[in-house]
Amino acid sequence: MSSPVSPYLLALLSVILFSTSSYATPPISNITHESILQCLLHHSVPHNLIYTKSTTSYTSLLQSSIQNQRFDTPTTPKPFLIVSPTLESHVQSTVKCSHYHGLQIRVRSGGHDYEGLSYVSHDPPFIVLDLHSLSSISIDTSHSTSWVQAGATIGELYYRIAEKNKTAGFPAGLCPTLGIGGHLSGGGFGTMVRMYGLAADHIIDARLVNADGEILDRESMGEDFFWAIRGGGAASFGVILAYKIKLVYVPPKVTVFTKSTNLSHGAKTLTSKWQQIAYKLDDRLFIRAVIQVASDEKPCRTIQVGFESLFLGEKEELLALMGKSFPELGLKAEDCQEMSWIQSVPYFAGYKNGESPNILLDRKPQFNISFKAKSDFLTERITELGWERIWQEMLRGEEQAMLIVDPYGGRMDEIPESETPFPHRKGSLYNIQYLVGLGEGGAKEMKKHLDWVRSFYQFMTPYVSKNPRAAYLNYRDLDLGSDRVGSTTYTKAKVWGRRYFKSNFERLAVVKGKVDPGNFFRNEQSVPPLFPA
Ligand SMILES: Cc1cc2nc3c(=O)[nH]c(=O)nc-3n(C[C@H](O)[C@H](O)[C@H](O)COP(=O)(O)OP(=O)(O)OC[C@H]3O[C@@H](n4cnc5c(N)ncnc54)[C@H](O)[C@@H]3O)c2cc1C
Ligand SMILES: *[C@@H]1O[C@H](CO)[C@@H](O)[C@H](O)[C@H]1NC(C)=O
Ligand SMILES: *[C@@H]1O[C@H](CO)[C@@H](O)[C@H](O)[C@H]1NC(C)=O
Ligand SMILES: *[C@@H]1O[C@H](CO)[C@@H](O)[C@H](O)[C@H]1NC(C)=O
Ligand SMILES: *[C@@H]1O[C@H](CO)[C@@H](O)[C@H](O)[C@H]1NC(C)=O
């Protein structure tokens, strides 16, 4: 490999080298397993935490948190080393040795990246830093805060919070195996988004390893750097070791319901009505719509719309609220279940039959499928006629597509667009996610599904946000643009950067220029450094 070594990087390296006299000094281009291994061992990373392709458990460790089978094929580029740190110092050593050897690293917490960028690089060789063992969680009940390490899952966090305090919770995503490191650094929203905003809105401190291998906290990194890792995606900036978060209040009892409808049972009117009100209901009430092609009635396929709801309060009050705001849904007492907030977590993860919260401690991937996802934001409501056209498009062909439409509003409207890098606040009424399975039939079948979801995304253009057509970083989509690793210019990256971050993108690039000018932390869609004149 010929690594492009900038004069800056050389200067930086000499600082590291001379300040850390214990570094051996092989030539920079000599990237062999041996030399990097020696470096890691020399810097106190134990042998049993380093996996090479010849280590027996290399493959099972690599696969352990791959959530999308699309990136688990024989031709998927593989890391030549996986390091699985158990101490913060192991992360520092890995960053220093990789930096010194001019090697790319990919950092993985929960492995949910939609494009697999936490464990795949299209420009090998690369190292994967797999943080699953850095997963401790400490809860300070008297201050309602928690320090949670990056490799913990969101399910583990929810469980540990509830174990300590039944009226505390945290507003993050629905899938329990999401990793803290990726999920919180990219935003993170779930069923409490209308009441409390994003997971990233509740980060109050952080510990990370920067490109020089130093550990920084909020105070030592400064407010610009701290701003960037609360929605800008940490992958461009450093390795998050842990976040300190503020917990939120949840009532002792919450109420959930799921009510489904379809084309022959008024789906069109209901969806249209739901869309007029879901973003401006009482902040405690979240009703999402999951829209999919119902496959059980071939050849009469239909569109099924499932309204899934969490209310942070009791059944009686919910029924009164629904009677006033959304009587068309005909919600009845028997449609509703009261439960504790922690019991509602498995419910929204798809375990609808009263699964015990213990399931939240299971790190095994819940699904084993190959899929592609894309995202949009709605700034205007879609008319009944609009929904009719969208559904016709979904029914065309044989796709098993799914649309998940999540309402914002409430707390999201109150937070200014520049408060965090995540800009989709007031005026972004709904987030839409398009999901399509890619099947198991090989390249030709996969292409058919990919073509479909890409053309569906084109079809949606008139209905969604414009200038820029916005997207959610955590639903990463390389179709928006990407670049060969390390060669991204600001001008080029703006094409996708503004779609994820709007006008916050420039500030992110300036922060990047300050904290990682040599672009050590990079991937196909990372924020490039910008040096203001
Ligand atoms: C099944 C499923 C359900 C989902 N549900 C939701 C949801 O309800 N709400 C929502 O908002 N999103 C959801 N997402 C999207 C999810 O938020 C993102 O995929 C998120 O990035 C996952 O974080 P991770 O740590 O699990 O992923 P990873 O793949 O480990 O990481 C994602 C990105 O962050 C980087 N990264 C990870 N850890 C660190 C670290 N410690 N330091 C620096 N960089 C790091 C990686 O390099 C990569 O670029 C879902 C995704 C899936 C697959
Ligand atoms: C590269 O490193 C290996 C192992 O450390 C060493 O044996 C070899 O001589 C080095 N090659 C060069 C060109 O320095
Ligand atoms: C539990 O958490 C809530 C919300 O954070 C807080 O108001 C309350 O004081 C906590 N109770 C205890 C006993 O710590
Ligand atoms: C459509 O909805 C009705 C009423 O909920 C239900 O009885 C029927 O089974 C549904 N049909 C399909 C194909 O989902
Ligand atoms: C996932 O599914 C594939 C086939 O579709 C199978 O080969 C593989 O073993 C499965 N993996 C797990 C962990 O179940």
Across 271-276, average pLDDT: 97
Fold of 254-334+369-473: Vanillyl-alcohol Oxidase; Chain A, domain 3 (3.40.462)
Which residue out of 119, 430, 475, 490 is catalytically annotated?
475
Q: Has residue 388 got a pLDDT over 90?
A: yes
Q: Are strands 126-130 and 81-83 parallel, antiparallel or unpaired?
A: parallel
Cα separation, 145 vs 161, whole angstroms: 9
Ligand 3 closest atom vs CA 165: 1
The response to whether residue 265 sits with its C-beta less than 6 Å from ligand 4 reads yes
Cα separation, 221 vs 204, whole angstroms: 13
Residue nearest to atom 20 of ligand 1 (CA): 183
Cα separation, 63 vs 49, whole angstroms: 16
What are φ and ψ of residue 42, in 5° steps? -60, -30
Q: Tell me which CATH code domain 7-130 carries.
A: 3.30.43.10
> What confidence tens digit (pLDDT) does each residue in 492-530 have?
999 999 999 999 999 999 999 999 999 999 999 999 999
Which of 142, 158, 167, 246 for a ligand 3 pocket mutation test, highest count of atoms within 8 Å of Cβ?
167
Q: Has residue 441 got a pLDDT over 90?
A: no
457 is catalytic: no
* CB-count burial class (<10 Å; 0-12, 13-18, 19+) for 313: middle
Across 18-45, average pLDDT: 64
Cα separation, 116 vs 476, whole angstroms: 9
Q: Has residue 2 got a pLDDT over 60?
A: no
Which of 368, 369, 370, 440 for a ligand 5 pocket mutation test, highest count of atoms within 8 Å of Cβ?
368
> What confidence tens digit (pLDDT) does each residue in 299-338 have?
678 999 999 999 999 999 999 999 999 999 999 999 999 9
Residue nearest to atom 8 of ligand 2 (CA): 30
Cα separation, 112 vs 72, whole angstroms: 13
pLDDT at 32: 65
Measure 162 CA to ligand 3 centroid, in angstroms: 11
Quick check: 39 and 101 in contact, CB under 8 A? yes
pLDDT at 397: 76
pLDDT at 296: 62
Give whole-number Cα distances, 47 to 23, 51, 213, 323, in Å: 18, 8, 20, 63
> What confidence tens digit (pLDDT) does each residue in 359-377 have?
999 999 988 899 999 999 9
What residues are in contact with ligand 3 under a 6 Å CB criterion? 141, 144, 165, 167-168, 247, 249
Quote the percentage of the chain above a pLDDT of 70: 93
Measure 72 CA to ligand 5 centroid, in angstroms: 10
pLDDT at 409: 98
pLDDT at 31: 57
Give whole-number Cα distances, 365 to 60, 128, 159, 357, in Å: 13, 19, 17, 16
Q: Domain locations in the chain?
A: 7-130, 137-249, 254-334+369-473
SS3 434: strand
> What confidence tens digit (pLDDT) does each residue in 210-219 have?
999 999 999 9
Which of 157, 158, 165 for a ligand 3 pocket mutation test, highest count of atoms within 8 Å of Cβ?
165
Q: Tell me which CATH code domain 137-249 carries.
A: 3.30.465.10
Q: Has residue 380 got a pLDDT over 80?
A: yes
Cα separation, 128 vs 53, whole angstroms: 12
Q: Has residue 17 got a pLDDT over 50?
A: no
pLDDT band at 297 (very low <50, low <70, confident <90, very high): low
Q: Has residue 421 got a pLDDT over 60?
A: yes
